[in-house]
Amino acid sequence: MASSGGEAFDAVVIGSGINALVAAAQLARGGWRVAVCEREDRPGGAIHTSREVFPGYTVELLSSWHPLFVGGPAYAALGDELARRGVVYRNTSRPTGVACRDGAAVLSTDPEALTATLASLGDAENWSAMMTEFGGKIDLAFGLLGADFWRPGALRLGWRALRRLGRRGLVASGAEVLEPARPWLERTFSSPVTRAILAPWALHGGLGPDDAGSAFITKVIAAAVVSGGMPVPEGGGVRLVEALAGIVADAGGELLTGADVTQVLLEQGRATGVRLADGRRLRARRAVLASVTPRVLYEELLSGAPADRVRVARAFRHGRAAMQIHLALDEPPRWSDPALDDVAIVHVLDDLDSLSASVNAAWRGLLPERPTVAVGQPATVDPGRVPEGKGLLWLQLQELPRQVRGDAAGVIDPGDGTWTPRVRDAYADRILGVLRPHITNLDAAVTDRLVLGPVELEEMNVNLVGGDPYGGDCRIDQYTLWRPLSSGTGHATGVPGLWHIGASTHPGPGLGGGSGFLVAERLLHTRRGRR
């Protein structure tokens, strides 16, 4: 798809990940003509559906699961339109489980089944008390994660929290928000299996169980999973990408692939468009939205950006690396505990201690000895993704060093510290070794595998710097008010007409579209943004 040089749009969006597409679709529905510029030859960012990797299989190479999107404000606004465009979400009552040293268990969206599981672990009353206490302020919790801190709505949220909780209660809640998951899990639940089924979810928010704020994130995700399940689009995430792009196109906009933006154009200090690598210019009458990392925005795209912004952007840290392993099977996987056969995502780990040790090792540059494996079974939710009678595993590792200084097990030679194919494949072999005791037919059933290490992840998506899937370190000094910059600028860039969105900005990583939605709503509901 191409656009003539100098063509004018109301907004130009850099990137085509979930935040970029949500923002573009929202603006298009508000009457704006939008151009979306994607440097790769396909749109979608971390949504990358492939039917070529394993013939006959539909494989999500990067992100796969959509609970944050379906449960968030973007889907509430766009869901009806997406359904009209053929997006069908399939779900399951058995969204997550665990296989650990002390046993296995499944969390269900069915209240009776959930209670029975927790009762068998001795934690039914503990869970009920936790959900009653947290459920009484869950609207404040989700409001905090979805708030635009630089808009009046954030003040209203704070006032509502103060009226409900009182000053002492509000201060206590602040401490609760900052608590690490480990002390909370050990204080709240008696069973190591209950702790193990909950603790890995902090990884999906870029945190470890000893990081500040990880208890809060664990509670939020646990509540979301047991209430909303683990939805996926029938036929793959590409269906969502196509539908969002269709909203833009039907409003007169364009989605340009192979369109590498090299500069944000300024006139009298205001963002007025972009220049592409092939020399084309696209004019933006109202706004430019950039779904990129802070360093790219302030050091590469903005010529002559304010020195204080560049300095703070250079201090932005990226998080741990990740790895994806995809396995095609000639039959469905069989777990040593059959209760896990039809679960969407099973976390495999030893226990809470091994999770802490793996995260700590990764931060120190070591390959974890006993890693935590997120085992996705997409065909349990959307059977059409595999040929009849076959199986598919989507494996994600979130505790890897971006530079390998050593191996905690003392087996894999790190070489010069880079993620060479040798190091990548040796670590993938370790992962399969971790899974073998739990999936009894693993060796017999696997017919093909694809391993995507940190190098391959960044090659697929330039925003995954060093294989970091979180858009940047998510520890507390780079979260909420301090994301993306410690100077607390929110999505504003200091350049009129230029907005920053994506995983590097609030509310952070995850397939939710939150930052794109917040900025689009802000543009649509300001006097300057209206026609």
Q: What is the predicted pLDDT for the residue at 387?
A: 97
Q: What is the C-alpha separation between 518 and 470, in angstroms, rounded?
A: 19
Q: What is the predicted pLDDT for the residue at 3?
A: 38
Longest dimension (CA), the chain: 67
Residue 426 DSSP SS3: helix
Residue 78 DSSP SS3: helix
Q: What is the C-alpha separation between 361 and 345, in angstroms, rounded?
A: 24
Q: How many CB atoms lie within 10 A of CB 487?
A: 13
In 110-169, which ranges are E strands?
Answer: none
Q: Where are the alpha helices (DSSP H) in 364-453?
A: 421-435, 442-445
Nearest alpha-carbon partner for 380 in 348, 343, 352: 343
DSSP secondary structure letters along 216-255: HHHHHHHHHHHHH---EETT-THHHHHHHHHHHHHTT-EE
pLDDT values of the chain reduced to their tens digit, one per residue, 531 residues: 333 447 999 999 999 999 999 999 999 999 999 999 999 999 999 999 999 999 999 999 999 999 999 999 999 999 999 999 999 999 999 999 999 999 999 999 999 999 999 999 999 999 999 988 877 666 666 666 666 766 666 666 565 655 565 766 556 666 678 899 999 999 999 999 999 999 999 999 999 999 999 998 999 889 889 999 999 999 999 999 999 999 999 999 999 999 999 999 999 999 999 999 999 999 999 999 999 999 999 999 998 788 888 999 999 999 999 999 999 999 999 999 999 999 999 999 999 999 999 999 999 999 999 999 999 999 999 999 999 999 999 999 999 999 999 999 999 999 999 999 999 999 999 999 999 999 999 999 999 999 999 999 999 999 999 999 999 999 999 998 889 998 878 899 999 999 999 999 999 998 999 999 999 999 998 744 443
Q: What is the C-alpha separation between 181 and 293, in angstroms, rounded?
A: 28
Q: Length of the chain, please?
A: 531
Q: What is the predicted pLDDT for the residue at 1?
A: 39
DSSP secondary structure letters along 41-72: SSS-TT--EESTTTTT--EESS----HHHHTS
Nearest alpha-carbon partner for 105 in 249, 226, 242: 226
Q: What is the predicted pLDDT for the residue at 304?
A: 78
**pLDDT tens sequence across 458-501:** 999 999 999 999 999 999 999 988 899 988 788 999 999 999 99
Contacts 24+ apart (CB under 8 A), 115-123: 118/194, 121/190, 121/191, 121/193, 121/194, 122/190, 122/191, 123/189, 123/190, 123/191, 123/194
**pLDDT tens sequence across 342-371:** 999 999 999 999 999 999 999 999 999 999
Residue 416 DSSP SS3: coil
Nearest alpha-carbon partner for 419 in 472, 457, 448: 457
Q: What is the C-alpha separation between 492 and 3, in angstroms, rounded?
A: 28
Q: What is the predicted pLDDT for the residue at 453?
A: 98
Q: What is the C-alpha separation between 465 and 471, in angstroms, rounded?
A: 8
Cα 361-367-371 angle, rounded to 5 deg: 80
Contact partners, residue 378, CB within 8 Å, separation at least 6: 58, 60, 64, 232, 344, 385, 392, 394
- Both structure tokens of 455: 């190098």
In 352-445, which ranges are E strands?
Answer: 366-367, 373-376, 391-400, 406-407
E strand or H helix at 267: strand 261-267
Radius of gyration of the chain (CA): 23
C-alpha distances in angstroms, 455 versus 62, 76, 86, 465? 13, 36, 35, 9
pTM above 0.85, yes or no: yes
- Both structure tokens of 22: 């949500």
Q: What is the predicted pLDDT for the residue at 386?
A: 98
The torsion angles phi and psi of 310, rounded to 5 degrees, stand at -65, -40
The domains found in the chain, sorted by start residue, are: 7-48+66-89+235-316+472-524 (3.50.50.60), 93-228 (no CATH), 320-460 (no CATH)
